[in-house]
Chains A and B, each alone.
With several copies, the nearest count.
Chain A
Amino acid sequence: MLFDVNNLSSGDTAWVIMSAALVLFMTPGLALFYGGMVRAKHVLAMLMQNFFSMGLISILWVTVGYSLAFGGTGKWIGNFDFFGMKDVAKMYPADPSGVEWFSLFTIPPLIFMAYQMMFAVITPALITGAVADRMRFSAWVWFLGLWSILVYSPVAHWVFSPSGWLFEKGALDFAGGTVVHINAGIAALVLTVMLGKRKGWPQRPMPPHNLPLTMIGTGILWFGWFGFNAGSALVANGLAAQAFVNTNLAAAAAMLSWLAVERIKGGHATTLGAASGAVAGLVAITPCAGFVGGMAPVYIGLIAGVVCFFGISLKNKFGFDDSLDVIGVHLVGGIVGSMLLGLFSDKAINSVGADGTFFGGGATLLGKQAIAVVATLVFSGVMTFIIAKVLDIVIPGGLRVSEEDEESGLDLSQHAEVGYALQSQ
């Protein structure tokens, strides 16, 4: 699809460029969010795993990832049309016959590619919270690259490309409920089980070393998420405004419901609870952001806050050590959002969407959403397992660092650095 400069809207372009910058900013935000929660001796390793994704995935994306996700009109995966930035500056991805999608775009194709790049960067970064404090850095490097190409690009194609089978089927995902959160969440679950528990967990308490750092991250994430969700409108109009409002309301509502449960159950509303609830709401609204309206985002947020709170206790029940609760927040929250969309979706908000159960659409959309969820769970779960298994064998020392390296801290053992030096030096 040739890019016609006459169709360009400077307003839409301004908004999508800015949104791409906002989504990029989320990865440092995520790094800090996680980094504050680990113990001091692992803080840099956590930051590094996230920042490294900004480096590696950016390059892989323009080399092959974008092409595999958005090249051609295949059902299952893209092709190599955009390999190595070929034609990206002048061509949109192709629309399948009979569909008008990219041909309606008013932004330069380059910024569409870049905007999608930022999603590719942050998705695997979400996983780092689950494998915290014990994964070998070289194993992470390989996992990151392979997972991005073999898992992220195909799933992105299924859902975000108009020729992808889930897109065609009519499953909805405004900004990445399946592609980003369920995808990363199930990968986190598989990796968590394969890596095993952190030494000492759950006997020894492993409290966050620096919650203010986590709150800085929370602020950046909330801020950046406006680019993530409202930017996904790819135009600066009422739909973007709707997605913006929905994003804020779901985050707010989930914060409140999470804190309410905490208060009722444990007696204290915690700061980390406020942050966790907000992120749970942001996750859940992600697939819904441009398809729901009115007070629906509030309800979605309220539900997500409660369900994710209980989702987090799964790890204690089943005994897997999801260090920073990627599963409880992203996997559970992603599923909650994707399924609630089947109820709350409203064509009056977005004509290219569908009506959910509460708007007269029956269970049709719900069914499609379930298919998308299950497909993502199965594909990503299996692929993650295979990649990790192979790497565990191939990488010298395996996926996990030695006991001693874990004890002395990943910062020192993986990066020959420490987060904080003596104050008095």
Chain B
Amino acid sequence: MKLVVAIIKPFKLDDVKAAVQDLGVQGLTITEVQGYGRQRGHTEVYRGAEYTIDFVPKVKLEVLCEDGEATSIAEKIIDAARTGKIGDGKVWVVPVEGVWRIRTGEAGPDAL
């Protein structure tokens, strides 16, 4: 089992969700995060004083999947999340050693 993690631009969330649903993904979890990267932050002004805010709002997606699906899911996310502009985000894959569905106690692929 794998966990596909993606950091994307928030307004791409609906597109990305639709895209992975097309692949038959039945569930995922998102978190509101703040990203720092090449897409430097921006200057904010506070009563005449400027300061740089390095962090930009991003959304993190986590999708548990079977081993073989990870790459296709990652690719699908990459396609759907791309705007071509700096700050589009990253996708990565982490190995997972066990998965359970809480409701039923089912384990492994059945738990997805």
Whether A205 contacts B51 in the complex (CB less than 8 A), given A423-B32, A424-B59, comes out as: yes
Contacting pair B47 A417 (CB below 8 A): no
Interface mask (A231-269 → B, CB under 8 Å = 1, otherwise 0): 000000000000000000000000000000010011010
Task: Kindly identify, within residues 13 to 60 of chain A, every residue whose CB is under 8 Å from any CB belonging to chain B.
Answer: 41
**Alpha-carbon distance A406/B24, docked complex (angstroms):** 32
Which stretch in B37-45, B62-70, B88-96 binds the other chain?
A: B37-45
Contact across chains for A316 and B49 when beta carbons are under 8 A apart: yes
Interface residues of A in 333-347 (CB under 8 A from B): none
Q: Are B46 and A272 in contact (CB under 8 A)?
A: yes
A316 to nearest B CB, angstroms? Answer: 7
Please indicate the chain A residues that have their CB under 8 angstroms from the CB of B109 in the complex.
Answer: none
Interface of B is mostly: strand
Chain A residues closer than 8 Å to B14, beta-carbon distance: 203-204
- A91 — which chain B residues lie within 8 A by C-beta? none
What's the least CB distance linking B16 to chain A, in Å?
Answer: 12
How many A-B contacts if CB must be within 8 Å?
Answer: 70
Known interface pairs A424-B59, A425-B10; A268-B45 also in contact (CB < 8 Å): yes
Q: In the complex, which residue of chain B has the Cβ closest to the Cβ of A211?
A: B46
Structural contact, B57 and A325, CB atoms closer than 8 A: no
Taking a contact as CB atoms under 8 Å apart, the answer to whether B57 and A423 are in contact is yes
Interface size class of A (residues with CB under 8 A): 20 to 34
With A204-B14, A423-B57, A424-B10 known to touch, is A418 a contact of B48 (CB < 8 Å)? no
A309→B14 CA distance, assembly (Å): 28
Q: Which residues of B contact A7 (CB under 8 A)?
A: none
Please name the residue on chain A nearest to B45 by beta carbon: A416
A418-B44 contact in complex given A316-B49, A424-B58, C-beta closer than 8 Å: yes
Complex Cα distance A208/B14, Å? 17
Shortest Cβ distance from A48 into chain B, in angstroms?
Answer: 13
B42 near A266: Cβ-Cβ < 8 Å: no
30 contacts between A and B (CB under 8 A): A200-B11, A204-B14, A205-B46, A205-B53, A207-B44, A207-B51, A207-B53, A208-B46, A262-B48, A266-B45, A268-B45, A270-B46, A272-B47, A273-B45, A276-B47, A312-B48, A325-B47, A408-B56, A412-B44, A416-B42, A417-B45, A417-B46, A418-B44, A423-B57, A424-B32, A424-B57, A424-B58, A424-B59, A425-B10, A425-B11
Hey, which bits of chain A sit against chain B, CB under 8 A? 41, 199-200, 203-205, 207-208, 262, 265-266, 268, 270, 272-273, 276, 309, 312-313, 316, 325, 328, 404, 407-408, 412, 415-418, 422-425
| 10 residue pairs, one from A and one from B, having the closest CB atoms | A424-B10, A424-B57, A416-B45, A205-B51, A424-B32, A270-B45, A416-B44, A266-B45, A268-B45, A312-B47
Residues of B within 8 A of A (CB): 9-11, 13-14, 32, 34, 42-51, 53, 55-59, 85
Instruction: A313-B49, A408-B56 given; name 12 further pairs at CB < 8 Å.
Output: A203-B14, A204-B11, A205-B44, A266-B48, A270-B46, A272-B46, A272-B47, A273-B48, A312-B47, A325-B47, A412-B42, A424-B58
